[in-house]
Amino acid sequence: MPKTKTKTNTQTSSLLKRLGLASTVPGVFDGEWSGSGKCLETFSPNDGTLLAQVRTATPGEYERAAQRAAAAFQKWQAIPAPQRGEIVRQLGNALRDARADLGMLVTLEAGKIIAEGQGEVQEMIDICDFAVGLSRQLYGLTIASERSRHRMMEQWHPLGLVGVITAFNFPVAVWAWNCALAAVCGDSTIWKPSSQTPLCAVAVIKIAEKICRANSIDPAIFSLVIGDGPTVGERLLNDKRIPLISATGSSAMGVRVAQAVGKRFGRAILELGGNNAIIVAPSASLDLAMRAILFGAVGTAGQRCTTTRRLIVHESIYDELVKRLVRAYRQVPIGNPADEKTLMGPLINAQAVADMQDALEKIRRQGGEILFGGEKLVAQASNLGSLPPGGHYVRPCLVAARPEMQIVSEETFAPILYVMKYRKFDDAIAIQNGVPQGLSSAIFTNDMREAEQFLSASGSDCGIANVNIGTSGAEIGGAFGGEKETGGGRESGSDSWKLYMRRQTATVNFGSDLPLAQGIKFEA
């Protein structure tokens, strides 16, 4: 695909400078910066500008980084958890200071609008705060022993080196979800970010490095290896020094991770694709539903794992809702995400635009009706004035669809919303659950019975189920993740921290006999 190689403007250059980034940056960090593998060019999806070149890891550099990160774990895990929390507290504060700049880098490299770029950094700050509190709450249980004068307990120990693989669409927050928790749990981490967003990764690790150095902590606890899936990613998956791989990305990638990591008895947290639906019931407030649908379906240009991809609407309100949606879609300000008036920026690259166009072809072939949008946008077509040339802009798309259409079961990572009708409430739930993915789901209703049924065991089968809230924009306090082809992993809040630790059941005998469990006698 042709890319524009215009130079960054002075504003961008000084932003990169403030974040410690030059026009060529090393993409490996293990206490020292290196990178002598092939050069990765990173372009802004907004206008095709070449932002920088990032030097990837060679196999030898990967090896050294993994070794150093594993060694850093040995010292880090011996530091008391509240002291580890203090490092994470400082990291959170450094991110507060860098919020505007780092958020703008997310906008430049990933194409998110300013509010979402900064929101992503806010998520990093929030999870750091959460992790600081957690550093004093890594509680185990005391369990009643069946044997007299015995005490049984559960302890949580640091696990080791954690491999973190991230997707392009959350280029900084997903690192923080994993690494803030892993750090207070006593683990070191080695991060392989998406090759679409390597600059964001380098900027984040530079911030973490500074905090570690100021506290005389080995900065290799937050290591980085940039490189593609087959070269660097596969090494991580097969590396026996890494007991846990946390991988965020497509379900296809997750299958590969599960196989490779399972084969060596490693553990995996899988955060994969979604195909999220909102049910709109007759009693729903349509004003509320409209706002949630728009943010869910059009926000981040349809490139969130929690993006609303399916709308299941009661037949009695279908026509009215579709009419309102078409009107709203027509007014979505599409344009340069660095412009504060923009609500929808570009797709990540030309391939994503081509994939969307392919999906539209399939939709037509499978009998779907395009109600609005879908087309690739060229420079002059925006309602915000002219779009930057070289950007990957599309119009968000509304489709009248049926649940049986094959494409409705797939996650097309683009702003395509399938609108479907239902008559009976049980059918709405069956449609909602009738896809291979199980990440996020929502219902808009003012009927208490429907809401409770949706949340019951026979309701939504997703990891996230919301009432009168859309499918995207989760808070960090809850465990985040989904079922089925979404991978079953949980990250972020609640007790997700336990996945980053090693559970140990310990029993102490403070008596003078040796009674065996289950009353077994074993005496000569």
Question: Where in the sequence numbering do the catalytic residues fall?
Answer: 271, 305
Q: Going residue by residue from 290 to 309, which x/- string records binding to ligand NAD, judged by CB under 6 A?
A: ---------------x----
Taking the complex as a whole, the smallest distance from the CB of residue 439 to ligand NAD amounts, in Å, to 6
Is 246 a binder of ligand NAD (CB under 6 A)?
no
Q: CB 516 → ligand NAD: shortest distance, Å?
A: 46
Residue 229 in the binding site for ligand NAD (CB under 6 A) = yes
Q: Which one of residues 203, 298, 439, 465 is an interface residue with ligand NAD (CB under 6 A)?
A: 439
Choose, by CB under 6 A, the member of 273, 390, 438, 493 that binds ligand NAD.
Answer: 273
Q: Where are the beta strands (DSSP E) in 115-273?
A: 142-143, 150-158, 161-165, 188-192, 222-225, 244-248, 267-271
Residue 290, token pair as written in the block? 């409209």
Q: Where are the alpha helices (DSSP H) in 332-445?
A: 350-365, 425-433
Report the C-alpha gap between 190 and 233 in whole angstroms. Answer: 11
CB 268 within 8 A of CB 445: no
Q: Is 239 in the site for ligand NAD (CB under 6 A)?
A: no
Cβ proximity of 418 and 310 under 8 Å: yes
Q: Which of 46, 118, 188, 248 binds ligand NAD (CB under 6 A)?
A: 248
Q: Which of 419, 422, 432, 431 is nearest to 370 (CA)?
A: 419
**Is residue 172 within 8 Å of residue 117, measured between CB atoms?**
no
Span from 121-129, 134-142, 226-234, 414-422 in contact with ligand NAD (CB under 6 A)? 226-234
Nearer to ligand NAD, 106 or 284 (CB): 106
Q: Does 237 bind ligand NAD (CB under 6 A)?
A: yes
Residue found under tokens 């979505």: 332
Those residues with Cβ within 8 angstroms of residue 32's Cβ, 6 or more apart along the chain or in another chain: none
**Cβ 447 to ligand NAD, closest distance in Å?**
30
Which residues lie closer than 8 Å to 180 by C-beta, 6 or more apart?
88, 91, 92, 124, 127, 128, 130, 131
Q: Does 233 bind ligand NAD (CB under 6 A)?
A: yes
> Is residue 234 within the footprint of ligand NAD (CB under 6 A)?
yes
Q: Is 168 in the site for ligand NAD (CB under 6 A)?
A: yes
Residue type, 211: I
Among 107, 195, 246, 460, binds ligand NAD (CB under 6 A): 195
In the range 450-489, which residues lie near ligand NAD by CB under 6 A?
486
409 binds ligand NAD (CB under 6 A): no
Map tokens 């006698």 to a residue. Answer: 521
For ligand NAD, the binding residue among 192, 206, 314, 421 (CB under 6 A) is 192
Q: By C-beta, is 439 or 451 nearer to ligand NAD? A: 439
Cβ proximity to ligand NAD: between 140 and 229 the closer is 229
Whichever of 311 and 414 has its CB closer to ligand NAD, that residue is 414
Cβ closer to ligand NAD: 86 or 234? 234
Alpha helices in 407-457 (DSSP H): 425-433, 448-455
What residues contact 514, with CB distance under 8 A and at least 6 apart? none
- Alpha-carbon span 336 to 319, nearest angstrom: 33
Q: Are 138 and 156 in contact (CB under 8 A)?
A: yes
Region binding ligand NAD by CB under 6 A among candidate stretches 5-13, 30-38, 161-169, 464-472: 161-169
Binding site for ligand NAD (CB under 6 A): 165-170, 192-195, 228-230, 233-234, 237, 248-250, 253, 256, 271-274, 305, 411, 413, 439, 486
